[in-house]
Structures are given as C-alpha cells and as structure tokens.
Amino acid sequence: LVNRFAKRTLDLLVALPITILLSPVMLITAVAIKIYDKGPAFYKQTRLTVGGKEFKLLKFRSMIVNAEMDGIARLAQENDGRITPVGKVLRRTRLDELPQLFNILSGDMSLVGPRPERPEIAEEYEKVLPEFKLRLKVKAGLTGYAQVYGKYNTEPRHKLLFDLFYIETQSVWMDLNILFKTVIVVFRKDATEEVESGKTHAGVEVK
C-alpha cells in the first residue's frame, strides 16, 4: 500500500509538470499531423492495464487513417507503408507517446511499468506464454525495464522476463533509475526498430 502511494505520488509529481512543459510541443505536433492529411491528430487504442482492465491508450497518430481496416492487429514492421512521413519522425523521436501523459494523470497508467498490450495480441501471446498475463499484476507504464534494456522488436519472451523481474523488485528508486535511462534510450535509433516483415512473435504473424 505504501509503495503504491509512493508510486502514484511520483507519477503525479513528474507527469503533471512535464505535461505542462511539453504542451506547446504537443500542440505543434497535433497541428503537423492535421495539416499532413487532415485526419485526426490523436489515436485511441484499447490496451490492458492492472488486473486486465481495458482502457483507451492515447497516442499521436503516426499511421494513415484506418490503418487496420481489416480488423487485424499488427505490430509495425520494417518499411511499413502505413506510417506517414510525419509519423516516421514522431516514432523516431518518441513524440507519438506523449499523449500517454494524460493516461498517467487519469490513473490508468504509471510512468514505469510493463508496456500496455492490446487484448487481441496479449491473447495470442498467452497461448504460447501463459505467464504473459502476470504482467497485469501492476499498472501498465509509459516506459519500463523492458524498454530500457530491450527494444521495440525484442522477442515477447525476453520482454516478459524483463517485466517480471521489474514486478518482483520494483521500488521508487528503481523507477527513478528507469526514468533516467529512458531519456538516454530515446536517443538510441535502434531502440525503435520495427519487427521484420512476416516475422512471428509468440504465434502472432506480422503481415
């Protein structure tokens, strides 16, 4: 209980001033997306957080409108034609993730924790990795141990090990350390590498 209170306090103390400070950047980003193709600046996607609760994760839209018209959930892949020119910049700089600060302020997410997965993809992962659902013991995070020590295209099994290690050893000091390292990771180009075209992750075929 004390740890949860300390974690929530840290979330608010960090997320609120950063949201205010970066509000001009978010405004410019939203305008750039809107100007490019007149589509919505934000993208809402159903994700899972603590206890398997579903919530709407906010991101700046980096792909074309209706990128998944066929209803199939897909991870971004190499040379993905769905990503717009503006989106490429956003993904490379991680600016597309900034709206998740509002998810943190609302309490659905934390600054640090396992990255929130989509229900349909999590279901596929759990067929091969039943332990995958253990990630839902804590709130999903904007960044996490797996993001600092892995990459976007790190295999789910390895990400799971990173997440479980964090869940068992988490503390405010660990969160602060991960937040510090996240700033460094943002400038690593390889950290945002997409998955290879056609590669299967834990039974999920990326087309």
Measured distance CA(29)–CA(104) in Å, rounded = 20
Identity of the amino acid at 200: T
Please name the residues in contact with 154: beta carbons below 8 A apart, sequence gap of 6 or more: 146
Please give the pLDDT value at position 9.
Answer: 95
Q: What tens digit of pLDDT does each residue of 95-152 get? A: 999 999 999 999 999 999 999 999 999 999 999 999 999 999 999 999 999 989 876 6
Higher pLDDT residue, 78 or 117?
117
pLDDT at 205: 44
Give, as one character, the DSSP assignment of residue 50. G
Average confidence (pLDDT) over 80-107: 91
Residue 1 pLDDT level (bands cut at 50, 70, 90): confident
For 22-51, write each residue's pLDDT tens digit: 999 999 999 999 999 899 999 999 999 999
pTM of the model: 0.83
For residue 195, pLDDT over 50 is answered with no
What pLDDT is recorded for position 93?
A: 87
Q: Between vectors from CA 76 to CA 71 and to CA 78, what angle results, nearest 5°?
A: 135
Q: How far is CA 160 from CA 106, 114, 126, in A?
A: 26, 9, 11
206: closest CA among 91, 94, 72?
Answer: 72
Beta strands 42-48 and 54-60 are: antiparallel
Q: Is 90 exceeded by the pLDDT of residue 162?
A: yes
